[in-house]
Structure formats: C-alpha cells, structure tokens
Amino acid sequence: MLPFFLKLFTNAKPPPSDAELLRLYRQTGELEHLGELFQRHSEMVYLVCLKYLREEEESKDATMHLFEHLATALLQHEVSNFKSWLYATAKNHCLMQLRAKKGQPGTGLDETSALFVENQEPLHLSEAEQREETEQLLQQALQQLPPAQYTCVELFYLQQKSYKEIADLTGHELSKVKSYIQNGKRNLKIYMEKHHAPR
C-alpha cells in the first residue's frame, strides 16, 4: 500500500497560487475560485476584524461582508499582492464601521478621508450621515484610480508601508512608487472635491 500512496503524493499537483486563483476569478467570474482564495485568508480577515471591532459576532458579519465586497472589487481592480491588499481592505472596512458607530468627528480621523483630503473643514463632517456619504465617496474615488496608483496609495496610507516596502511588494521602482502615491492622492482629492455635494 505504501508505494501506492507515495505515487499519489508524488503525482499530486500543488494547489494553485493566490495569483492564479485571482486570475481565474477575474477571467471567469466564478465564485468557486474566489471562495478558495478567500478561505485561505479568512482567518486573517476575521482576526483583523476582531482586533478593531472587538466583538466576535460583529467580526464574523464583517468577514462575510468583505467577501461580498471582494466579489465586485476584484473584478474592477488589478491586485498585485492579494494578501496585503486584503489586509488593508479589511482594516479600512473596520475603521469606517467604527467611525460610523462613534459618530464623533475628529476622533482618530480618518484612515480614510482625512488621509487624502488635506482641507477637511469644507466637508463639515458633523453628522453620521454626512460622514458615511464622504466615506462612500472616497471608496468610489479609489475605484477610479489606475491599478498601480490604487495599490500604492492603499499600501502607503491604509497599511502604512514605506516607499521601499511598497517597491519590494509591487516590483515598481522607488521613484515610480512615489509618483504613483503623489498622483493618486491628487486624483483622489480632485475627485472628492468635484463630486462632494456641499451642505
């Protein structure tokens, strides 16, 4: 029996990489590929949510919501490092939930809009509804960025990676990383100012 099992082990194909599963999902739109990809990192996502939300059930719900979000987001964006991108997305999702729950402007402001909109005063973020509207607008703005800008901006601002770390993760030259971040931030600010409805 042993040689038979050894033969099975020897001939077994290695599981597809994250990049391959992501390519298959983007190519086919089949949730089977996304499910396998997300399952690999679901524990990390849950632990990130638990770290910020501190409630088990709420963290489980957030993990499911993130999976639903990925089904759309990954068809819109090219992601070079799925695990890093997923970590940043989960963290950002939790921070926005906390901001909406607290309803307190100026408390830990924002790992979202405050990162990209240098002049916060005209936004008048004084009510939960207005903050939620701004955060949704920021998500829309992020989705308009070219893939390279999106990845670099998210790694730099939301995951607090250094220029060098981003260059290592993405394979871009250091000068390109700085350019992508600068241009991405400018494009986000332009989009926010253009589409934000004054109150």
pLDDT in tens, 164-184: 989 888 899 999 999 999 998
Which pLDDT value is given to residue 180? Answer: 92
The whole-angstrom separation of Cα 160 and Cα 143 is 19
Is pLDDT at 127 greater than 80 in this prediction? no
pLDDT in tens, 28-44: 999 999 999 999 999 99
34's tokens: 């996304």
Structural domains present in the chain: 17-86 (no CATH), 109-199 (1.10.10.10)
Instruction: Report the chain's mean pLDDT, rounded to a whole number.
Output: 77
Q: Give residues with Cβ within 8 angstroms of 100, minimum separation 6.
A: 128, 131, 132, 135
Of the pLDDT bands very low, low, confident and very high (cuts 50, 70, 90), residue 80 is: confident
| 98 within 8 A of 188, measured Cβ to Cβ | no
The whole-angstrom separation of Cα 39 and Cα 51 is 19
pTM to 2 decimal places: 0.49
